[in-house]
Amino acid sequence: MLKNLKQNKMPTWLTCLTKEKVEKEEIPIKKILQGSQYFPCWRDYGSHVYSPDSREHEIPVMELLGNVHSIVCADYNIASGEMELTMNKLRQRFKGYNLFAERNLRRDEIIDYDTGKELLTEFAKKLSCSEKSKVEDIANQAARTVKTNRPGSERYASWCIFEREKKLDEQNGPERFSIMFFLEDGLECYIKYYVAQSVAPSAIALIQPGKLSEGNFNSFSEQNGAFYKAIKSNKAGMPEYLLYGGLNGENSFEKSCWEEYNKCVAKVEDPFVGNPENCNTKYYKVWKRGWVDNIKRIWKAVSIRW
């Protein structure tokens, strides 16, 4: 937990979960999304996460536990056949926590495919021609994924609940946390769930977000880019915090990528990610949305009401 950020109590829905509820009942997707920490581009940085000679907390998941209790991740670049390997590594990486319950999900257990496509199409109408083309590429990629008949292609998401070991206390983190992983593009996932449900995460984590030239459909960190516009379009407002960083340290991530986030409230730096001889530096800052943006949001809400 980062002490500079607000500490939140574990939500009731998470406290009351049983293994049977996780495995058999309807997914409480809106509760999972509300106030979560969202990673729209998991794998680009994830390649550094599971290196056998890397350190323990290479991605900012553990650091914010207690500030948030739900983590949502998306990445379309992981083949469905690799999903189990990815989740196995996740299960092993959280020191002091054990897997309490887990559920693998098909797409139709969370959202109807046609509904998702309609939401993307509607969003694309608000974009420039080049951006619209990229969003259409995302929709086409989703269509190809749905039509794929390779073994395991039905698997769309995994939902895990981790529980702290009994011998540990709150100094080691909250009693429980939830993590949901989608095999989906980060922009598509945000539109189909956060925007459609009118809920906002507490924090967006752009950690080694990559560029268009690196296999992404869009540049996640671009000011006024398609992902940024999706964040702005959410009726629930923008997240309170932005985590922005990656490798190569402060030289690459000195400033916030989005102008609304102009108050740095925390900084994390670790010079030994990967092989220590390479001197790679994990570096990110936590930026808080500025008061100017808050006033604009309140004024907009008042104007709509009147």
Q: What is the pLDDT of residues 10-59, one digit of tens each?
A: 999 999 999 999 999 999 999 999 999 999 877 534 333 333 333 433 44
d(CA 78, CA 183): 7
pLDDT at 77 over 80: no
Structure tokens at 84: 């189990």
Tens digits of residue pLDDT in 274-293: 444 444 556 788 999 986 55
Percent of the chain past pLDDT 70, that is, above it, reads 61
Residues 224/211, Cβ–Cβ less than 8 Å: no
Q: Residue 81: pLDDT band by 50, 70, 90 thresholds?
A: low
d(CA 177, CA 186): 21
The pair phi, psi for residue 286, each rounded to 5°, is: -100, 120
Residues 209/44, Cβ–Cβ less than 8 Å: yes
Residue 165 CA to its chain's centroid (Å): 25
Average pLDDT of every residue of the chain: 76
Which SS3 state, helix, strand or coil, does residue 133 take?
Answer: helix
d(CA 167, CA 304): 51
Amino acid (1-letter code) at residue 40:
P
Counting every residue written for the chain, the total comes to 306
Strands (E), 167-216: 176-182, 203-207
Amino acid (1-letter code) at residue 89:
K
Lowest-confidence segment of 96-100, 126-130, 262-266 by average pLDDT: 126-130
Q: Which residue has the higher pLDDT, 204 or 216?
A: 204
Number of neighbours of residue 91 by Cβ within 10 angstroms: 14
Q: Output the pLDDT for position 215.
A: 47
Which SS3 state, helix, strand or coil, does residue 136 take?
Answer: helix
The pair phi, psi for residue 222, each rounded to 5°, is: -70, 125
- Helix, strand, coil shares of the chain, percent, nearest 5, are 40, 20, 40
d(CA 18, CA 23): 9
Q: Output the pLDDT for position 270.
A: 62
Tens digits of residue pLDDT in 239-256: 999 998 876 656 667 889
> Which helix or strand (DSSP H or E) is residue 72 part of?
strand 70-74
Q: Residue 210: pLDDT band by 50, 70, 90 thresholds?
A: low
Amino acid (1-letter code) at residue 218:
N
Q: Which residue has the higher pLDDT, 273 or 207?
A: 207
Contacts of 244 (CB under 8 A, 6+ apart): 206, 207, 221, 253, 256, 257, 261, 284, 285, 287
Q: Output the pLDDT for position 134.
A: 65
Only one residue has tokens 């690799």, namely: 82
> What strand order describes the sheet that includes 37-39?
97-106, 155-164, 176-182, 70-74, 37-39, 203-207, 241-246, 282-289, 261-270
Q: Output the pLDDT for position 291.
A: 66
H helix count then E strand count, the chain: 12, 9
Mean pLDDT of 195-223: 78
Tens digits of residue pLDDT in 259-270: 999 999 988 776
Mean pLDDT of 73-79: 75
Domain spans in the chain, listed from the N-terminal domain onward: 12-305
